[in-house]
Structures are given as C-alpha cells and as structure tokens.
Amino acid sequence: MTTQVGDRYLSEVERTDRELYELIKAEEQYQVDTVRLIPSENYTSRAVMEATGSALANKYSEGYPGKRYYEGQRNVDRIETLVQERATALFGAEHANVQPYSGSPANFAVYYALLEPGDTIMGLALPHGGHLTHGWNVSATGRFWNSVRYEVDPKTHLIDYDRVREIALAERPRIIVAGATAYPRQYDFAAFGAIAKEAGAYFLADISHISGLIVSGVHPDPTPYADAVMTTTHKTLRGPRGAMILCKQEHAEAIDKAVFPALQGGPHENTIAGIGIALKEAATPEFRAYGRQIVANAKALAGELRERGFDLITGGTDNHLILIDLTGKQVIGKKAAKALDRAGIVGNYNTIPFDPRKPFSPSGLRIGTPSVTTRGMKEDAMRQIGRWMDDAIAHVDDGDALDRIAAEVRDFCRGYPAPGIHVV
C-alpha cells in the first residue's frame, strides 16, 4: 500500500517509520553503488522479496503439511508441499525439509537426528576453510559432540583425501562432513562417500556455498553419495536467507523430528514461499547459464589478480570463491578489506591455511562472484574489478585515492542494474 503526497508516493515503511525507512534506503543505495564480492551474498529477485514480505508473514504453522498444531493451514500446507517437491526434483533427493531457519541450525538438526551426544564429528578445520558448525570448539556442535578435524595439505592447500581416509579409519567418527566456507576448489564427493562407508560413518555434504553451482552442472553433485545434504538458500542459489535438508528416505523421519519439535517451533512460511520461487528460478536454462558464468567470472578475476602479483590460495579457483594471501602485498587482511570497502569493493578479511596471524586480524581476503554475476557482469568487468583492487591495495592508506576509485565504481555499477532494488 502507498500514500500519495503531492506528486509522489510514500511507501508504508516510510509513512510508518521514517528513521528505519531511511536506513533501508541507504542500504539499497549501498548495494547498488558497490561491487559486492562477499561469496555468501547475492541479490534475490523481486518475486522472492515480495513472497517474503507477503501475508504469509502472519502465519504460525507448527508441524508439517497435514500434521499441524494449528487450524487454518489449508494454503500453507499446499505451499510447503510444493516447495518440498521442487527441492527434491531440483536436487534429485528422496526427501526435503524446507523449514530450517538457517544453515547452522540445519547442520545441528542433522547431527541431532543421526548422532548420540558425545559421538564424533569429523570436518574440515575452521582455519583451513571449514565452518563453525562442522565441529569447531567455539560452536555448540563442538560442545555436544566430540570433534576431530582434517586439514588441507601444507604445500598445495588442497584436501588430501588419503589423509582424510587415514584420520577417518583411525578415529572412526560417526559422521564425516564435506563442505567449507573458504575453499576455492571442487569437492570429490564420491571419495568422501567411499571413506565414510569404509569408516562406518554417515556422510553429510554441506553445499551451502555451491548449491547453485551444483544445479547448474558446474560442480559435482553429492546427492548420490551422501546420507544428508544441507544447503542454505541464499548464496549461489539466490533465494532468501533460509536452509534446506535433503536426505535419503530412511533418515526423513529422524531429520524432520530434529527440525521440529526438537530445535525449532513454527516455520517461517513467508521464507519458505521465497525459497519456492528461487527453486523455480533455479530450474531454468537461464539459471544454469548464470551458474556457469559465476565460475567463468571467478576464474577471470583470479587470473587478473595473479597477473598483478596477488598470491591466491591453491593458485586459483574452480568455483565462485577466491581466497587471497596478502602477505606478499605487505597488507593485513582486515586493513585491506576496510580500504576496499571505502573504494566501493566489498569483501571480507579471512584466515588462510596455516595463518600465522589471529582470526580477528588475519592475513587473507575472501571474495567471490555470485552477486556481480547476478548483475550481469562478465569477464571483462572482472578484469576491471581486479585492476581496481590492485589500485586500492596499493593505496591502502590514501583516502583520496580510495574515494576516487569509489567514484569510478559507482559510475561503473550504473551499467549493471541490481535485481529487485528500485533506486532513483
């Protein structure tokens, strides 16, 4: 609903809460004017935004379709069932739970369903690119379950599958987790599945970062090998912030009970509807072309950075993500990230494997190409971004130079509209 004032219209947010409205508009402008390279961010379509802001935000729907604890669920049941069907069809899974609020509780739900307290989780170590919820000690997953870690190779920074097998057979974990938040190469899910089977372990594939690449056919698919697959629904999948658990039918009941009632109450049906739209979009040839372009863009950006003397972990990328060691540039990651942000290029400082610096001030920078690809940028644009990054890092203490780059970035971004955002 809008209200006319003179020759323009006020949104209901503006009419109701001017202070919050101005902050939202400032964020919209920021997302339009900057090159967003955080690998876990993207732009949703306007359709996804409308679904998440629809009347479904009013619903409370504890339970599952046909088995709710509230009346008035006739439409919600059909929506959630439809989204489950789209998820299983897109990923080739036997069962889908689309209720998890985000990736962290979704991983917790898988552990709750398949493990007993004190069982062993085996995942990639956090400083080597793994995620907190893969058993790291500051996460609840490292408190309720025993944790053992595998690491990347000290020289190549690649996962050493022989070493993973060796650790698995020695430690006999109850579950092995594949997936990461800062690993720029493909995963051999078949190898993980074989190792888990030999060790008598379940296999969980956390594909939160790469699910859009998997459905696009540019990354191997873990579904044939994994007992459970977890993915967030934003990142490369380009939906709202939520999560899904895909699993074999034999685990469906345990996982559903772990999500509700064990860990969550009523699902966010407005988010589920947005996920449904994103899944429909992801089933199109256009989305598959988008996934291929994400990888092509990442490779082009990595190549430009290498030519300019940047040290890339593993030497490059196979996916959407680039991890940079800034030691050779004599700039710490946090300082570089802040300088780039001022220059209109948004990434995040990040640890690198075997980083001698502390996590809050690490040596690395993590960037990725999902958002810029959504805006229609291609390889030539990536090379220009690489040139700006080099310029900004070379002038990390020069505010005037960074402001100059930011102005150039703003002009550049006008040629690439941000989907779903209307800025005058």
Catalytic residue among 59, 235, 366, 375: 235
Please indicate whether residue 232 is annotated as part of the active site.
yes
| Active-site annotation holder among 62, 119, 311, 390 | 62
- Residue 60 is a catalytic residue: yes
User: Which residue, among 327, 345, 343, has the nearest Cα to 382 in the 3D structure?
Assistant: 345
Of the residues 185, 241, 329, 366, only one is catalytic, namely 241
Active-site entry in 21, 60, 161, 416: 60
* 15: annotated active-site residue: no
CA–CA distance, 342 with 362 (Å, rounded to integer): 19
Active-site hit among 33, 80, 151, 206: 206
Active-site entry in 120, 232, 314, 317 = 232
241 annotated active-site: yes
* Catalytic machinery residues: 60, 62, 206, 232, 235, 241
